[in-house]
């Protein structure tokens, strides 16, 4: 692998002008531990659009940070590569989203961290007014603790900041069914659901589902959510609590004729 890396470095050294013209690059079985390939690939290869790295070792402490919006890179494939951390910053592509999603009928967004604001997901609905079923799964697991070890191996959780107004199409949504998995009557969730309901005149069904059980959380002996979290972070049990949620969601909406289904 080191020999392969030496060959690659020798080639770029012999033909330095090639670096600035490359649009596609595929490397296999290369160890970059002695070379700053992050600088070479992302600072020098300014025209790079497609990058495939297979069975490559970047060095045990290597951290790659890719500012995708500020590059031409549109295809990135990593297969069996050794990296301590890979950070990729993306942003929606505006009108291109509308072109890609214009015939989408079902949209599912899974594993959204519980403390994140959810209004950013409306950007995708604006880009896909044809969606009839919208499903959001909210994530919170004590089996994965945000400790120092996790922060060393994974990128920082960053709340998405897409602005809905930048992608508004002003087309009528065809949304008929809206599902929220991992629901809790937290203010950001209630605000998100009300916003979707107001923008979806064809909505007929709202499904609010409790967190699914997690065998890993059970294995570490994690307490039930009702015993370790504030009440507003816990799924509403019983008719009285669920009636309160219904009032919170429909009190200010002109057309409250949406069937709400609670699934615990």
Which runs of E-coded beta strand occur in 55-105?
A: 63-67, 75-79, 85-89
According to the 3-state scheme, what is the secondary structure of 100-154? HHCCCCEEEEEEEECCCCCHHHHHHHHHCCCCCEEEEEEECCCCCCCCHHHHHHC
72 and 10, same structural domain?
yes
Domain count, the chain: 2
Q: Express each pLDDT in 137-157 by its tens digit.
A: 998 777 776 556 555 555 555
117 and 81, same structural domain?
no
137 and 211, same structural domain?
yes
181 and 54, same structural domain?
no
Q: Express each pLDDT in 81-136 by its tens digit.
A: 666 565 655 555 556 666 667 788 999 998 888 878 888 888 888 888 899 999 99
User: Once rounded to an integer, what is the mean pLDDT over residues 147-173?
Assistant: 61
Phi (first) and psi of residue 9, to 5 degrees: -60, -40
User: Once rounded to an integer, what is the mean pLDDT over residues 155-177?
Assistant: 69
Task: Examine the fold and report which residue of 57, 89, 121 is the final residue of a domain before the chain moves on.
Answer: 89
Dist CA 176 CA 194 (whole Å): 15
Dist CA 262 CA 210 (whole Å): 8
82 and 105, same structural domain?
no
The domain that holds 106 is classified in CATH as 3.80.10
235 and 221, same structural domain?
yes
25 and 114, same structural domain?
no
60 and 176, same structural domain?
no
Element (H, E) at 260: strand 259-263
151 and 208, same structural domain?
yes
Query: How many other C-beta atoms can be found within 10 angstroms of the C-beta atom of residue 84?
Result: 13
216 and 116, same structural domain?
yes
**Which residue segment(s) compose the domain that 13 sits in?**
2-89
Of all residues in the chain, what percent carry a pLDDT higher than 90? Answer: 25
Dist CA 31 CA 131 (whole Å): 45
Of all residues in the chain, what percent carry a pLDDT higher than 70? Answer: 70
Element (H, E) at 49: none
Task: Examine the fold and report which residue of 89, 124, 144 is the final residue of a domain before the chain moves on.
Answer: 89
List beta partners, residue 53. 27, 78
Residue keyed to tokens 């990135």: 76
Q: How many residues does the chain have?
A: 264
Dist CA 10 CA 179 (whole Å): 55
Task: Examine the fold and report which residue of 55, 89, 123 is the final residue of a domain before the chain moves on.
Answer: 89
User: Once rounded to an integer, what is the mean pLDDT over residues 4-10?
Assistant: 69
Region of 225 on the Ramachandran plot (φ > 0 left; ψ -120 to 50 alpha; else beta): alpha
Which of 232, 254, 253 has the alpha carbon at shortest distance from 244? 232
Cβ(210)–Cβ(235) below 8 Å: yes
User: Once rounded to an integer, what is the mean pLDDT over residues 46-59?
Assistant: 80
Q: Express each pLDDT in 185-213 by its tens digit.
A: 999 999 999 999 989 999 999 999 998 88
Phi (first) and psi of residue 203, to 5 degrees: -65, 130
141 and 64, same structural domain?
no
Dist CA 59 CA 85 (whole Å): 11
207 and 160, same structural domain?
yes
């Amino acid at each position: 692998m080191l020999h392969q890396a030496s060959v690659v470095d020798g080639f770029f050294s012999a033909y330095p002008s090639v670096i600035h013209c490359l649009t596609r690059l595929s490397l296999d079985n290369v160890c970059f531990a002695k070379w700053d390939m992050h600088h070479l690939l992302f600072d020098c290869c300014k025209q790079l659009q497609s990058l495939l790295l297979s069975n490559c070792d970047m060095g045990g402490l290597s951290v790659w940070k890719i500012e995708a919006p500020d590059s031409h890179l549109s295809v990135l494939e990593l297969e069996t590569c050794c990296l301590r951390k890979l950070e990729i910053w993306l942003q929606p592509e505006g009108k291109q989203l509308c072109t890609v999603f214009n015939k989408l009928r079902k949209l599912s967004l899974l594993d959204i961290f519980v403390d994140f604001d959810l209004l950013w997901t409306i950007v995708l609905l604006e880009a896909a007014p044809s969606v009839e079923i919208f499903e959001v799964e909210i994530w919170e697991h004590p089996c994965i603790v945000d400790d120092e070890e996790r922060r060393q191996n994974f990128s920082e959780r960053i709340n998405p900041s897409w602005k809905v107004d930048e992608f508004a199409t002003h087309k009528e949504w065809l949304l008929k069914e809206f599902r929220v998995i991992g629901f809790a009557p937290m203010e950001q969730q209630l605000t998100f659901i009300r916003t979707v309901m107001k923008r979806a005149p064809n909505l007929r069904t709202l499904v609010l589902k409790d967190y699914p059980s997690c065998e890993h959380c059970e294995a570490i002996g994690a307490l039930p959510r009702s015993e370790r979290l504030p009440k507003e972070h816990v799924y509403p049990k019983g008719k009285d609590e669920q009636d309160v949620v219904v009032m919170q969601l429909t009190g200010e909406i002109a057309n409250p004729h949406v069937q709400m289904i609670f699934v615990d």
